[in-house]
């Protein structure tokens, strides 16, 4: 397994929509395994293929994300291929939402409280996931990546502008 590089905003791959995965082969399975190792190493609770420069509709998430306070929880992840949110209800504020691709920034983001996601697993089986709370937020966040949307696109224009100016200054200083 390999730790992959995670792209950061404003990388082009993060801003483009992804295409459906057409076949599940050994190369895709290796990428999923590498993404899992990368996500836990970062550390994060979700990772989308565009974050590693691959614009395919593939996400992974930490199945124990809701239990991170539990010291005994194992590092396990699940891959979702071609995930689609088919239903959503309620509204919550995801407090201090952050992203491995949006460096040094977090914000409160309005999200659905519960979502239904249809996808395929790594073996090509169809699945339907009913997600609530943190898992629903992770699903929405990662599926947004597949559509070229970052969580900063879901905050106020003022906050987004302040972040972009700060980032531009940081990038200029690091050149």
At which residue do the structure tokens 């071609």 appear?
82
Structural domain boundaries enclosing 73: 12-173
In a domain, 123, yes or no: yes
| Rounded mean pLDDT, 3-21 | 95
Give the DSSP letter of residue 56: B
In a domain, 34, yes or no: yes
- Flag whether 52 is in a domain: yes
Nearest to 145 by CA among 48, 35, 62: 48
133 found inside a domain? yes
| 76, 62 Cβ separation under 8 angstroms | yes
First and final C-alpha spacing in the chain: 32
Reported as a single tens digit per residue, the pLDDT across 21-78 is 999 999 999 999 999 999 999 999 999 999 999 999 999 999 988 776 555 567 899 9
Which positions are annotated as active-site residues? 142
Are 46 and 60 in contact, with CB atoms under 8 Å apart?
yes
Please check whether residue 6 lies inside any domain of the structure: no
Residue 118 located in a structural domain: yes
Average the pLDDT over 167-172 and give the result: 84
Percent of the chain predicted with pLDDT > 70: 97
Structural domain includes residue 2? no
The domain that holds 152 is classified in CATH as 3.90.45.10
CA 89 to chain centre: 20
Number of domains in the chain: 1
57 assigned to some structural domain: yes
């Amino acid at each position: 397994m390999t730790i992959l590089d995670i792209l950061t905003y404003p990388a082009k791959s993060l801003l483009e929509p992804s295409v459906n995965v057409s076949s599940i082969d050994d190369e895709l399975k290796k990428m999923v395994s590498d993404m899992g190792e990368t996500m836990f190493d970062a550390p994060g609770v979700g990772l989308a293929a565009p974050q590693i420069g691959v614009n395919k509709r593939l996400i992974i998430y930490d199945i124990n994300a809701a239990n991170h306070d539990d010291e005994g929880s194992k590092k396990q992840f699940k891959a979702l291929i071609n995930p689609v949110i088919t239903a959503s209800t309620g509204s919550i504020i995801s407090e201090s939402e952050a992203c491995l691709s949006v460096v040094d920034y977090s914000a409160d983001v309005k999200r659905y409280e519960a979502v239904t996601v249809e996808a395929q697993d790594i073996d090509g089986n169809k699945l339907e996931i009913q997600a609530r709370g943190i898992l629903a937020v992770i699903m929405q966040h990662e599926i947004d990546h597949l559509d070229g949307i970052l969580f900063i696109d879901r905050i106020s224009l003022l906050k987004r502008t302040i972040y972009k100016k700060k980032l531009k200054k940081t990038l200029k200083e690091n050149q």
